Amino acid sequence: MPNVDELLQGARDAISVKRVFGDPIETEGVTIIPAAKVGGGGGGGGDSEDNGGGGFGIGAKPVGVYVIKDGDVSWRPAVDVNRIIAFTFVLGLVFAFRR
């Protein structure tokens, strides 16, 4: 069973710049660097009988890419289709109940 220090080191390794920025992709004179939003959390505890446990969770979602072309850098945000659909649905409900 891993100790607390090993769990914390695993958490540090999981949430690193390597998780936020992907490896650069180069093609036809253009470099693309993917970026993600990464978050995590953990916890643990025990009782007076030396029983205990812990856990850690991590999540990530794409947020966009940096595009480097001819020495210029631009940002292209990722399109979250689920968020657009949800927003459209809520907006439709608002207009439906306004009448």
Q: What is the pLDDT of residues 57-96, one digit of tens each?
A: 778 888 999 999 999 999 999 887 888 888 898 888 888 8
The pLDDT of residue 11 is 66
Q: Say if CB 7 and CB 44 are below 8 A apart.
A: yes
The pLDDT of residue 72 is 95
The pLDDT of residue 16 is 62
Helix (H) or strand (E) holding 38: strand 30-46
Judged against a pLDDT cut of 60, whether residue 4 lies above it is answered with yes
Q: What is the pLDDT of residues 30-45, one digit of tens each?
A: 999 999 988 877 777 8
Report how many domains make up the chain: 1
Q: Which two tokens stand for residue 41?
A: 């959390």
Q: Domain of 9?
A: 4-98
**Per-residue 3-state assignment (H helix, E strand, C coil) for 44-96:** EEECCCCCEEEEEEEEEEEEEEEEEECCEEEEEECCCHHHHHHHHHHHHHHHH
